[in-house]
């Protein structure tokens, strides 16, 4: 739907809702009152004494009203790969998925290692008026893993945090300097842990299945070794490191021990790693080719466990659009990654439906927790906070398929899967930017 940024907003009362706010621990019947672009009041029982007369009333009909989702990792394709995704198509997919704020990865072309690119991406996204887009800055120039990018200048231009995207910083000295330099200014570095020399040539998890399929494997150790190494560097430098896409049982064990020692380490994972295993590859399905690769069932269960006991801090979509030309290829040649903006909510809710988490805890992983990690003013229903809301029915089911996915690319690893959790309305800065069926 078209968004009119200059339309006056006034006050809007969202009534008759099941209010869910993990930050406040709210789960009860109530509402949210927005005034312009901000939340004026929220909470269970908010309109029990009567509805405000001067506000436009939106009846939520008992559906769940929660803070808009915060997705800390998505590839948006622009600039450079507009055939796969644009800020506009990603914005439509994100709002349809209830995502109101997202961080986009810097591996664009040109990459986000320069202040001008940070400003370009942020300005383009702002003009669209869809999901709020915050760029990551590159840790190293050209994402080459050799020379530090201008971290603080990038930060002051709007980069929220720093990463080299799917590229692991292989040289320990470069990461040491990056962590120390970033710590100078309190900046967060996000790191995908995969030792390149061990992963080189690999296309799926190393194991019995890679042997049967005749595909070159990526050992779990590629991930574990880097995590273990990085923890030492964090300890040495006092840096602030966040591991992304954690995928193996032992990775979370190593991180658990580091956290127990009080180190400033956090981590996330993406839905494929808690809801799929390597058998999703089946008969060479390239939509299930991801980075890191899908692991085996024991790993998947360990990731679920780590989410439930808090070792994994939050969940990100790891949205990675790939067009048909990149995926309709022999498995080894196909590009890696899957779209995820519209499946972030239903797949996270699956943890609730399967009894692993409460509804509030599941929502926490995609609202308060990621926002807190990136120190964003988002992910909660606090008076004065931006009026970013998602209205959804946690039980309503739908089937993931290319015709409901709004991304320009349709490469979902969950393609064909029936899921539960339907976004009915998405509100950003007080404006409704998506309604179901519209």
Partner 1 sequence: MISGDTATTDFPHRHLLGIEGLTPAEITFLLDRSETYVEQNRQPDKKRSVLRGRTVINLFFEASTRTRTSFELAGKRLGGDVINMSISGSSIKKGETLVDTAMTLNAMHPDVLVVRHADSGAVKLLSEKVNCAVINAGDGSHEHPTQALLDALTIRRRLGRLAGLQVAICGDILHSRVARSNIHLLTTMGARVRLIAPKTLIPYAAERLGVEVFHDMAEGLKDCDIVMMLRLQQERMKSNYFPSVREYFTYFGLDYEMLAHAKPDALIMHPGPMNRGVEIDSEVADDFYRSVIREQVEMGVAVRMAALEILAHNLEPLAETNL
Kindly list the catalytic residues.
318
Helix pair angle (297-308, 344-353), 10° resolution:
80
Least Å distance between CB 140 and partner 1?
A: 9
Contacts of 229 (CB under 8 A, 6+ apart): 172
Site for partner 1 (CB under 8 A): which residue of 177, 209, 336, 420? 177
**Of 179-187, 304-312, 335-343, 382-390, which segment contacts partner 1 by CB under 8 A?**
179-187
Distance of CA 327 to the CA centre of its chain: 22
Q: Does 142 bind partner 1 (CB under 8 A)?
A: no
Q: Does 5 bind partner 1 (CB under 8 A)?
A: no
Eight-state DSSP code of residue 270: -
CB of 198 to partner 1, least distance (A): 24
**Closest alpha carbon to 170 in 188, 151, 192:** 192
Does the protein bind partner 1 through residue 226 (CB under 8 A)?
Answer: no
Q: Rank residues 114 and 278 by Cβ distance to partner 1 and give the closer one.
A: 114
Q: What x/- string results for residues 144 through 173 when contact with partner 1 is judged by CB under 8 A?
A: ---xxxxxxx-------------------x
* β-pair partners for 137: 162
Q: Please count the other Cβ atoms lying within 10 Å of the Cβ belonging to residue 176.
A: 18
Q: Is 237 in the site for partner 1 (CB under 8 A)?
A: yes
Residue from 9, 57, 144, 180 binding partner 1 (CB under 8 A): 180
Q: Which is nearer to partner 1, 176 or 410 (CB)?
A: 176
178 near partner 1, judged by CB under 8 A: yes
Structure tokens at 94: 């994100």
Q: Among residues 170 and 280, whose Cβ is nearest to partner 1?
A: 170
Shortest CB 186 distance to partner 1, Å: 9
- Of 148 and 280, the one with the shorter C-beta distance to partner 1 is 148
- Exposed, middle or buried: residue 437 (CB in 10 Å: 0-12, 13-18, 19+)? exposed
CB of 180 to partner 1, least distance (A): 4
Which lies closer to partner 1 via its Cβ, residue 139 or residue 365?
A: 139
The correct pick among 64, 99, 174, 281 for binding partner 1 (CB under 8 A) is 174
- The answer to the question of residue 183 lying near partner 1 (CB under 8 A) is yes
CB atoms within 10 A of CB 171: 13
Pairing mode, strands 418-428 and 389-399: antiparallel
Please choose, out of 122-130, 182-190, 316-324, 342-350, the segment that lies near partner 1 by the rule CB under 8 A. Answer: 182-190
Choice between 181 and 284, CB closer to partner 1 = 181
For residues 246 and 267, the answer to whether their CB atoms sit within 8 Å is yes
SS3 content of the chain, % helix, strand, coil (to 5): 30, 25, 45
Rounded CA gap, 401 and 414, in Å? Answer: 8
Helices (H), 97-165: 115-128, 151-157
| Closer residue to partner 1 in complex, CB, 83/177 | 177
Binding string to partner 1 for residues 80 to 119, with x set by CB under 8 A, is what? ----------------------------------------
Q: Who contacts 6 (Cβ-Cβ below 8 Å, separation ≥6)? A: none
- Distance, CA of 342 to CA of 90 (rounded, Å): 10
Closest approach of Cβ 240 to partner 1, in Å? 12
Cα–Cα distance measured from residue 419 to residue 345, given in angstroms and rounded to the nearest whole number: 10
Tell me which stretch binds partner 1 (CB under 8 A): 95-103, 176-184, 241-249, 348-356.
Answer: 176-184
Residue list 238-257, contact with partner 1 (CB under 8 A): 238
Q: Least distance in Å: CB of 149 to partner 1? A: 6
Is 184 a residue that touches partner 1 (CB under 8 A)? yes
Residue with tokens 């995926």: 327
Question: In sequence order, what are the beta bridge partners of 35?
Answer: 11, 38
Closer CB to partner 1, 137 or 338, in the complex: 137
Backbone angles phi, psi at 147, to 5 degrees: -115, 140
Residue 176 CB, shortest distance to partner 1, in Å, is 9
Minimum Å gap between C-beta 67 and partner 1 is 32
For 132, the token pair is 């709020």
Binding-site residue total for partner 1 (CB under 8 A)?
A: 19
Task: Give dist(CA 104, CA 81) in Å, integer.
Answer: 14
Of 340, 215, 221, 334, the closest CA to residue 272 belongs to 340
Binding site for partner 1 (CB under 8 A): 141, 147-153, 173-174, 177-178, 180-181, 183-185, 237-238
């Amino acid at each position: 739907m078209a968004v009119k940024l200059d339309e006056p907003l006034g006050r809007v009362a969202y009534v008759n809702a099941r209010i869910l706010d993990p930050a406040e621990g709210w789960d009860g019947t109530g509402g949210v009152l927005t005034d312009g672009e901000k939340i004026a009041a929220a909470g269970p029982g908010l309109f029990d004494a009567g509805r405000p007369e001067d506000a436009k009333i939106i009846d939520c009909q008992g559906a769940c009203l929660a803070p808009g989702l915060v997705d800390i990792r998505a590839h948006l394709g622009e600039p450079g790969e507009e055939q796969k995704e644009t800020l506009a198509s990603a914005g439509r997919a994100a709002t349809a998925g209830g995502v109101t704020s997202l961080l986009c990865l810097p591996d664009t072309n040109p990459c986000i290692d320069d202040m001008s690119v940070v400003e370009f991406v942020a300005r383009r996204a702002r003009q669209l008026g869809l999901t709020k887009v915050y760029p990551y800055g590159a840790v190293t120039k050209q994402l080459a893993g050799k020379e530090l990018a201008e971290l603080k200048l990038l930060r002051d231009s709007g980069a929220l945090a720093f990463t080299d995207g799917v590229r692991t910083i292989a040289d320990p000295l470069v990461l040491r300097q990056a962590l120390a330099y970033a710590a100078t200014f309190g900046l967060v570095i996000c790191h995908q842990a995969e030792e390149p020399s061990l992963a080189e040539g690999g296309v799926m998890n190393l194991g019995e299945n890679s042997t049967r399929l005749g595909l070159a494997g990526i050992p779990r150790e590629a991930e574990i070794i880097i995590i273990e190494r990085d923890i030492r560097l964090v300890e040495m430098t006092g840096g602030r490191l966040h591991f992304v896409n954690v995928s193996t049982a032992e990775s979370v064990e190593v991180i658990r021990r580091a956290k127990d020692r009080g180190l400033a380490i956090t981590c996330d994972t993406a839905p494929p790693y808690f809801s799929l295993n390597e058998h999703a590859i089946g008969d060479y399905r390239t939509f299930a080719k991801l980075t890191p690769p899908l692991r085996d069932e024991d790993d998947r269960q360990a990731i679920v466990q780590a989410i439930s006991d808090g070792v994994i801090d939050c969940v990100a979509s790891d949205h990675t659009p790939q067009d048909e030309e990149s995926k309709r290829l022999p498995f080894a040649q196909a590009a890696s990654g899957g779209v995820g903006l519209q499946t972030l909510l239903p797949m996270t809710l699956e943890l609730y439906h399967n009894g692993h988490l409460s509804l509030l805890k599941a929502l926490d992983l995609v609202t308060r927790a990621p926002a807190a990690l990136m120190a964003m003013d988002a992910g909660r229903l606090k008076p004065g906070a931006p009026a970013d809301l998602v209205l959804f029915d946690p039980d309503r089911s739908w089937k993931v398929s290319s015709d409901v996915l709004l991304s320009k690319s349709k490469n979902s690893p969950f393609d064909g899967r029936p899921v539960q959790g339907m976004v009915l309305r998405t509100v950003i800065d007080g404006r409704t930017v998506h309604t179901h069926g519209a």
